[in-house]
């Protein structure tokens, strides 16, 4: 009997379930209601769920047991976004571990976790799901052998040519994907044997890591931390009479820098052998450049949904919609629409969650929509409704991370020393699909927006065909 395999990838800094009263993202709430657990009614024969914590969390430290290195890795991931490859491989490995022919793959994500989910879909579109080991034997289902296959698919195939628009890089990647599918028995008439059944994401953003002064500040803090750690180690070694502090400190610094450089080289160096002809090779250095490149949705994906934030104004959080139009794939009679990308009121986390529960009415709106979409499919997601208590409201509190950051500073802190978000409101087309609660929100006399109660009139919707009359009425009154 076939089953659902649900993969949940959370946003940066998000790791649900660690504390009893922590703020939770919509991704974790959805996972909690759909996972197999002693508290849920989900039968593992029908559905299993895997949760991957976001970049820069305690759970994102990898398998390294030494806590200071885990902390360094966590902070480095948050600053640069370099941990994204590991997150993609984590999710793909979970799919390989549980997949049996006929199973359906569901991918969910928020923020950079939405990026991860979409990348996992890209890995599947290239590599499919292996059915045998490299030696022709059974596919390993656990341990280092399985992880090696997942890492190969991500690092050697999917990331080949990352950040490059050169046609030859795409051709090389397709050839590497063909070889992978042939090697692991995942080819189906020249294409991947399996793609996601459903992809549901909350507000995919373009940037992987921090940028600008914020990124420089985080990297500077990392450099200082490394220097202090090196000084501590050198100080301990200097207790031995034959060890001098300054040489030891210098050697440790060089060793740490060398490890970082080697790691960067290994991650970015890509090569394809026996291409374009036998005996020839091509190589290059790939780079994500902290941006999302794969903007098209594979038309073989059965269904996809994207919840977008109207009021997110941070320039670093530029939205990344799928470039496809919903008409790119004909609608099957009697089935839901293939692709929906809907705009919701609120900022980034008002859509993806992670605010206190008494302030989460807007994120409940988008979560309820996503749950309804996933539950209305021909093969729906299974949910334990007792674990999902939602109270959506079109008049819910709206947050602003821009204003929150401003409030961190005392009045006497000179403005040049204040680290502020660079703002750039999102462009929204006049005919972009709005969720019904957006129209309801416009009709309210006032809504709570970061401590103020005012009518809902975001500037980037002033030209929208469904709500532009509200702005004309406001001008007439004033």
Q: What is the pLDDT of residue 402?
A: 84
Distance, CA of 98 to CA of 106 (rounded, Å): 13
Residues 101 and 220 in one domain: no
Residues 94 and 202 in one domain: yes
Residue 236, in any domain of the structure: yes
User: In the numeric block, which tokens belong to residue 87?
Assistant: 């997150």
DSSP helix/strand/coil, 335: coil
Residues 185 and 329 in one domain: yes
Q: What is the pLDDT of residue 249?
A: 81
Distance, CA of 110 to CA of 403 (rounded, Å): 22
Say what the alpha-carbon torsion angle 206, 211, 214, 218 is, to the nearest 10 degrees.
100
Residues 205 and 216 in one domain: no
Residues 341 and 221 in one domain: no
> Residue 60: which domain range?
4-65+81-209+292-387
Distance, CA of 442 to CA of 474 (rounded, Å): 11
Residues 52 and 149 in one domain: yes
Q: What DSSP element (H or E) covers 270?
A: strand 269-273
* Averaged pLDDT in 10-residue chunks for the chain of 478 residues: 96 61 89 94 96 70 53 56 84 98 98 94 97 96 97 96 85 97 98 98 78 61 76 83 82 84 81 94 76 76 97 88 80 92 98 96 99 98 95 97 75 62 92 98 95 94 96 67
Residue 223, in any domain of the structure: yes
Strand partners, 434: 343
Closest to 90 (Cα-Cα) out of 204, 172, 10, 20: 10
**Domain ends where: 387, 416, 435?**
387
Q: In total, how many domains does the chain have?
A: 2
Residues 154 and 237 in one domain: no
Residue 106, in any domain of the structure: yes
Residues 93 and 116 in one domain: yes
CATH number at residue 105: 3.40.50
Q: What is the pLDDT of residue 208?
A: 61
Distance, CA of 446 to CA of 362 (rounded, Å): 15
Residues 187 and 299 in one domain: yes
Residues 188 and 334 in one domain: yes
Residues 221 and 332 in one domain: no
For 438-446, the CB contacts below 8 A with 24+ separation are 438/310, 438/343, 438/344, 438/345, 438/394, 438/467, 439/466, 439/467, 440/394, 440/395, 441/345, 441/394, 441/395, 442/467, 442/470, 444/394, 444/395
Distance, CA of 193 to CA of 198 (rounded, Å): 16
Closest to 290 (Cα-Cα) out of 214, 226, 343, 223: 214
**Domain ends where: 387, 416, 450?**
387
Contact 304, 298 (CB under 8 A): no
By DSSP bridging, strand 281-285 and strand 269-273 are antiparallel
pTM above 0.75, yes or no: yes
Distance, CA of 198 to CA of 327 (rounded, Å): 17
Residue linked to tokens 């091509």: 282
Q: What is the pLDDT of residue 136?
A: 95
Mention every residue, 6+ apart, whose C-beta is less than 8 A from residue 314: 348, 401, 402, 421, 422, 423, 424
Q: What DSSP element (H or E) covers 293?
A: none
Residues 380 and 352 in one domain: yes
By DSSP bridging, strand 104-110 and strand 47-52 are unpaired
């Amino acid at each position: 009997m076939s089953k659902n395999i649900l993969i949940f990838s959370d946003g940066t800094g998000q790791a649900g379930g660690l504390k009893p009263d922590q703020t939770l993202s919509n991704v974790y709430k959805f996972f909690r209601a759909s996972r197999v657990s002693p508290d849920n009614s989900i039968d593992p024969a029908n559905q299993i769920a895997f949760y991957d914590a976001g970049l820069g969390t305690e759970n994102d430290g990898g398998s390294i047991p030494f806590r200071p290195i885990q902390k360094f890795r966590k902070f480095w991931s948050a600053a640069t976004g370099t941990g994204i490859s590991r997150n993609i491989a984590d999710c793909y490995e979970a799919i390989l571990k549980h997949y049996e022919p006929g199973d359906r793959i569901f991918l969910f994500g928020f923020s950079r976790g939405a990026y991860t989910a979409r990348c996992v879909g890209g890995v599947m579109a290239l590599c499919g799901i292996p059915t045998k080991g490299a030696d022709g034997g059974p596919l390993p289902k656990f341990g280092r052998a399985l992880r090696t296959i997942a890492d190969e698919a991500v690092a050697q195939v999917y990331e080949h040519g990352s950040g490059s628009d050169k046609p030859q890089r795409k051709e090389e990647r397709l050839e590497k994907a063909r070889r992978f599918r042939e090697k692991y028995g995942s080819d189906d008439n020249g294409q991947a044997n399996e793609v996601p059944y459903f992809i549901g994401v909350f507000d995919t953003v373009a940037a992987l890591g921090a940028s600008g002064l914020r990124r420089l500040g985080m990297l500077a803090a990392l450099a200082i931390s490394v220097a202090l750690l090196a000084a501590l180690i050198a100080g301990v070694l200097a207790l031995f009479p034959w060890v001098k502090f300054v040489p030891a400190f210098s050697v440790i610094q060089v060793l740490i820098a060398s490890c970082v450089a080697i790691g960067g080289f290994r991650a970015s160096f890509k090569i394809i052998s026996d291409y374009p002809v036998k005996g020839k090779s091509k190589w290059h250095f790939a780079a994500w450049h902290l941006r999302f490149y794969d903007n098209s949705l594979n038309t073989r994906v059965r269904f996809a949904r994207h919840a977008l934030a109207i009021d997110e104004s941070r320039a670093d959080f530029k939205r990344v919609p799928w470039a496809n139009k919903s008409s790119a794939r004909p609608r099957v009679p009697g089935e839901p629409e293939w692709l929906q990308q809907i705009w919701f009121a609120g900022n980034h986390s008002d859509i993806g969650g992670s605010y206190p529960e008494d302030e989460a009415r807007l994120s409940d709106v988008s979560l309820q929509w996503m749950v309804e979409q996933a539950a209305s499919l021909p093969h729906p997601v299974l949910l334990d409704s007792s674990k999902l208590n939602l109270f959506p409201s079109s008049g819910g509190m709206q947050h602003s991370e821009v204003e929150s950051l401003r409030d961190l500073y005392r009045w006497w802190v000179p403005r040049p020393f204040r680290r502020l978000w660079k703002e750039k409101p999102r462009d929204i087309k006049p005919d972009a699909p709005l969720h019904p609660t957006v129209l309801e929100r416009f009709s309210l006399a006032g809504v709570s927006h970061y401590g103020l109660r005012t009518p809902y009139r975001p500037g980037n919707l002033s030209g929208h065909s469904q709500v532009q009359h509200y702005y004309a009425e406001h001008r007439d009154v004033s």
